[in-house]
Amino acid sequence: MTGKMPAFFALLITVSFYIGPVYSDDKCDDTACTITALSFELSGNVLYRLGADGKTKLYDNVAAISMDAETLYYIRIADAGWIAGIFKGTAEESEEFDLPGKYEKLYKFIGFNDVFYFLALPVIDNIDEQSNDNPIYIRFNPDQLVYQSIEGVSDFVLLDGKSVILKNGSINYNGNEVPLQIPGKLRIAELIDSRIAFISGDGGTEVIDLPAGRSIYQYNANSVPEIPDEYNVVIEFADKIIRTDNDSEPGESIYYQILVDGAEDSRTVTGSGEVVKFFHLKLDSGRYHIIKPERWELDRIKGRYARMNNIYQPAELKIYIPENRIIKIRVEYNGKDYIIDQSVLYK
């Protein structure tokens, strides 16, 4: 897939390596890791200045460089911590700033408008804490001495100088947060026309209109989603109760009453719990809805159906309805707990 990239994304080179007890001196070969930007060259983790008489070594242990117009940004590793630097225009000397915090791995780095943006794994000082490879996103403005961080970010890019942040299964741009429908470890694969983001993961690719705050489509390598017509939510109910050999009686006759956004909608058909029951809804897309299923069972003594005690009820579901897709929700009862699974229905 090709597209037009904003100018400040034209060059982004990140060489990930470690510091502290897990630092590695291993270098990749020049062919794989040499990049020329403006009058500079990053070869392995060494930054050089290029001139008429050849190249002059500037810094070792440079983890990443990024270019914005006539400015070169870099992050290098020193004994005392990480250092951010800027070469502006034809300046002979760089400006350098100590980066707050301690980090052991750099995932991504962008410099833009004299601000440093990067994704890194922090050093955990408390040995009892587990990092779980949980990176943090940093925005560092040295001119204003502003340092901002967000935990749990898995990827980011810039759009019109604003951050596009991928975190906890949602993407956020300019205050608009869009829940994503594809599962697994996600990344921002591409940004085109200064508005459309392609988010990719093991479960496929999702297409987001960032300024509009809309998830408009998704697909995977082998199939495309079912297109909604009369409904865009299908709920499947089934009991999966393990019975003993002596317990040959069929399950209780039940049905589920469905409430949507606090109002009673309708109910499933009545039948044994083991018989799968389907319920279809047509809900407004692009927003959350609260779906509350209520289980009703036949009281054989009273000869009528009664709402089960709350401890036997499934939890209410807060569901985001994307555009151009059908959400399938499976509610399975094992006699003690409910197992709820949500997915997009594919052809």
pLDDT at residue 22 greater than cutoff 60: no
Report how many domains make up the chain: 2
* Domain identity same for 196 and 339: no
Residues 120 and 100: their CA atoms lie apart, in Å, by 12
Share of the chain above pLDDT 70, in %: 84
pLDDT at 36: 64
In a domain, residue 76? The reply is yes
In a domain, residue 181? The reply is yes
* Domain identity same for 101 and 249: no
Tell me the CATH number at 332.
2.60.40
* Domain identity same for 13 and 120: yes
In a domain, residue 224? The reply is no
* Domain identity same for 182 and 252: no
* Domain identity same for 25 and 125: yes
* Average pLDDT for 263-276: 92
Decide: 17 and 27 in contact? Cβ < 8 Å: no
* Domain identity same for 142 and 180: yes
In a domain, residue 2? The reply is no
Q: Which residue has the higher pLDDT, 118 or 134?
A: 118
Pure H helices in the chain: 30-33
Tell me the CATH number at 23.
2.120.10
Q: What is the largest CA-CA distance in the chain?
A: 99
Domain that holds residue 207: 7-219
pLDDT at 241: 82
* Domain identity same for 182 and 251: no
In a domain, residue 248? The reply is yes
* Domain identity same for 198 and 329: no
Which of these three, 219, 248, 270, is where a domain ends? 219
Which of these three, 195, 219, 243, is where a domain ends? 219
In a domain, residue 332? The reply is yes
In a domain, residue 228? The reply is no
Q: What is the pTM of this model?
A: 0.79
pLDDT 10s digits, 24-82: 233 333 434 556 666 889 999 999 988 888 889 999 999 999 998 889 999 999 998 99
Residues 97 and 141: their CA atoms lie apart, in Å, by 10
* Domain identity same for 153 and 36: yes
User: What confidence tier does 245 reach under pLDDT thresholds 50, 70, 90?
Assistant: low
Q: Residue 247, class by beta-carbon neighbours within 10 Å (0-12 exposed, 13-18 middle, 19+ buried)? A: exposed
pLDDT at residue 283 greater than cutoff 70: yes
* Average pLDDT for 117-139: 81
* Domain identity same for 265 and 126: no
pLDDT at 180: 96
Which of these three, 219, 241, 266, is where a domain ends? 219
In a domain, residue 48? The reply is yes
* Domain identity same for 77 and 183: yes
Sheet arrangement for strand 176-179: 153-159, 162-167, 170-173, 176-179
* Domain identity same for 143 and 17: yes
Decide: 193 and 301 in contact? Cβ < 8 Å: no
pLDDT at 5: 35
